[in-house]
Amino acid sequence: MKIISKISLSLVLASSLFLATVNAEEVKADGVKSVTEASLGLRKTNLYVEEAETEGAATKYSDAPAGTSKKIKRAFQDAPPMIPHSVEGLIPIKIGNNACVGCHMPAVATAVNATPIPKSHLIDFRPKTAIGDDGRITKDGHAVDNTSSQERKNISIKENKEEKLTGARFNCTQCHAPQSDAEAPANTFETVYSDKDGATKSSWIGSRMTDDLDTLIK
């Protein structure tokens, strides 16, 4: 009986939804009520052709060489900045070739007018995780019964003294992408930055992000 009741309820709900759609989108053709194909989906253009109104605005990525483009304001405080210059020949990023670091590493960024990679990208936040012979999870050699430990045994912050990107940050295009200059949908969002220069700079600098943590491994 329970299964039959569930099936009956599902049929009633489906019928109600269908009737609501018919009532909302009905058209009269020779006195017969029907529903248009376009009204059944999110797309409101012709389903059988790909005209300009369906294709939308073409993408227009910057062709400015690196070092000559104008920075794009961040969408919010500490948002990954968009790439304002051409990426022709710079991607894809491969394990043995990351063209981004040639200009964006802190040691050279200022000299070539590039945004320096923040310190957060040079710090390893991932503890070395393994499973011991007894089946327990270990973090940096310490057994952890709960990976969400309130004692922060699941956290490990290791400074990289060699000024190299950590593995988790190596693939820059996971977060950073070129910005198209084409017409965009209307947007009423107003950005409020917590830092006065938040539109162009990251607040994750120096030891600011680790001051309150006691898990720093030097």
Q: pLDDT over 90 for what percent of the chain?
A: 20
CB-neighbour burial class of residue 100 (10 A; exposed 0-12, middle 13-18, buried 19+) = buried
Domain boundaries, the chain: 2-55, 62-218
SS (H, E, C) 72-116: CCCCCCCCCCCECCCCCCCCCCECCECCCHHHHCHHHHHHHCCCC
Indicate whether this model's pTM tops 0.75: no
Q: Is the pLDDT of residue 121 over 50?
A: yes
> What is the pLDDT, as a whole number, of residue 69?
86
| Token representation of residue 113 | 């007018």
* Strand 123-124, strand 157-159: pairing: antiparallel
pLDDT per residue as tens digits for the range 35-55:
777 677 777 777 787 777 777
User: Domain 62-218: what homologous superfamily?
Assistant: Flavocytochrome C3; Chain A (1.10.1130.10)
Q: Lowest mean pLDDT of 11-20, 40-49, 99-108, 155-164, name the range.
A: 11-20
Average predicted confidence (pLDDT) for the chain: 77
The answer to whether 128 and 155 have CB atoms below 8 angstroms apart is no
> Residues 123-159: pLDDT tens digits?
888 888 888 888 888 887 778 777 666 566 666 777 7
What's the rounded mean pLDDT across residues 158-162?
Answer: 70
Higher pLDDT, 209 or 74: 74
Q: How far are the Cα atoms of 14, 141, 143, 153, 160 from residue 133, in angstroms, in the given order?
A: 54, 12, 11, 19, 30
Q: Which tokens in the block code for residue 56?
A: 């939308």
Residue 193 has pLDDT above 70, yes or no: yes
